[in-house]
Amino acid sequence: MNAILRAPVFCRAIGIFFIFFTNFASAESLINKQLPNVDKVFFTELTNAGNSIFIVGENGSLFRSEDQGHTWNPLKLDSTELLTSIDFFDAKNGVLVGHESTMYITNDGGKTFKKVFLKDLADRQALMKVRWLSREKLIVVGEFGLVITSTDSGVTWKTEKVSTTFFDRHLYDIIPLKSGIVLVGESGTLIFRGSNSSSWISISTPYKGSFFGGILGKDNTLFLYGMRGSIYRTSIRLVGGENGVKKLKFTRIDALVNNTLSYAIRLESGSIVFFDNGSNAIFYENNKISIKKVSVDTVTGSFELPNNTLLMVGFRGMGKLNF
C-alpha cells in the first residue's frame, strides 16, 4: 500500500489519496458488496452527530455507531462511489459527498439520506471535503479548484471562482475561522475569504508541495500539513475589512518523520495529533514532538473518546489509541 502512495505517478494526485486511488481502494469491496467488514473497508472520514458517530468510505460505505464505536451498523445508500467527507451541523442535519459529484443530505440524524443532484457542475467531479459554516451555509471543495457553496442548507448550490486567473489545483480541506474561511490544497495552496467578503485571495506560503489539511490550534494558530512530514505553523491573524490579511509568517515544525501526513485532530487538552502513512501518531504539545505507533494504516479520521482514547479510521478499517 505505501509503495503505491509513494510511486512517482501518484505524486500530484496523492491528494489525500482519493482522486486517483479509487480503483485500488474499491477492488475488494466490489467483490463482496453485501455486508462490508469494517476491519477491511477503506474509510475516508469520521464525524459525530449528537450521540452517534458516522464514517464514510469506499464503494458507498456509510456506517453509524451509537455506542462510541463498539458496534457499527451499515446504512444503505444508492451509491457505489468513493465517499470522501461527511459533516453535521447538529444532531439532525448532515451532508456527505464523494466522487462523481455524489452528495447526500439528512435532516433526521442519519435515519434517511436524500440524494442531491448537482446539475450545474460541468463534469462529474470528485468532491473532497464538505463543511457547514452556519445553519444555512455550506461549502464543498474538490478536484481542479472546484468550490461550490449553498445558502439554503444544501438545497441548491452554486460554483465559485477562487482565482481571477486559471486555477486547477486540487483542494483538499476547509478550515472555518471566526474571520472567514481557509482552503488548502496542492502546490502549497492557501486561499482565504473574509466573513464579509465575496472574493477569495491567495496567500503565499513557503511550501510548494501539497497541503492535505489544516487544523486550528490555540491562540489563532493554524497548522498546515502535507507530504514528507511537512508541518507549517502560522499565527492566522486575519484582520477585518475587504479580505484584509496581514503578512503571515510560517514556521516549519520538524515532525521527526518523512512520511505523508494524512490527518490531524486537536485534543480537548489543546494538543495536536498528526497521523502519517507510516502508522505513526505524532503528538505536538508545548512545541515538543512525541510519536506513538498506531494499528491503523494511514489514518483519515479520528474522534476523541473518554478516558484518553482516540477512535481512528483509515485505509483498512479502524482502531483505537490510548494516550
Report pLDDT digits (tens) over 9-30. 334 434 544 454 443 343 333 3
pLDDT at position 44, please? Answer: 98
Looking at this protein, which amino acid is placed at residue 57?
G
Q: What is the pLDDT of residue 122?
A: 65
> Comparing C-alpha atoms, which of 170, 138, 275 is closest to residue 215?
275
Could you report how far apart the first and last alpha carbons of the chain are, in Å? 27
- Over its C-alpha atoms, the chain yields an Rg (Å, rounded) of 18
Q: Tell me if 214 sits within 8 A of 223, measured CB to CB.
A: yes
95/71 Cα distance (integer angstroms): 22
- The CA distance from 144 to 242, in Å, is 26
Tens of pLDDT, residues 231-252: 999 987 654 444 556 678 899 9
**261-266 sheet: strands from edge to edge:** 261-266, 272-276, 280-285, 288-293
> Which runs of E-coded beta strand occur in 195-229?
201-202, 211-216, 221-226
- CATH number for 38: 2.130.10.10
pLDDT at position 294 is 98
Rounded CA-CA distance 128/141 in Å is 6
pLDDT in tens, the chain (323 residues): 333 333 333 344 345 444 544 433 433 333 334 456 788 899 999 999 999 999 999 999 999 999 999 999 999 999 999 999 999 999 999 999 999 999 999 999 999 999 999 987 866 899 999 999 999 999 999 999 999 999 999 999 999 999 988 899 999 999 999 889 999 999 999 999 988 888 899 999 999 999 999 999 988 899 999 999 999 999 876 544 445 566 788 999 999 999 999 999 999 999 999 999 999 999 999 999 999 999 999 999 999 999 999 999 999 899 999 99
What DSSP string describes 95-161?
EEEETTTEEEEESSTTS--EE---TT-SS---EEEEEESSSS-EEEEEGGG-EEEESSTTSS-EE--
User: What pLDDT, on the 0 to 100 scale, is given for residue 244?
Assistant: 57
Number of domains in the chain: 1
Pairing state of beta strands 102-106 and 94-98? antiparallel
What is the edge-to-edge ordering of all strands in the sheet holding 250-254?
211-216, 221-226, 230-235, 250-254
C-alpha–C-alpha distance, residues 242 and 194, integer Å? 7
Residue-number span of the structural domain to which 143 is assigned: 2-322
Q: How far apart are CA 48 and CA 66, in angstroms?
A: 10
CA distances from 248 to 32, 204, 209, 287 (A): 49, 8, 18, 19
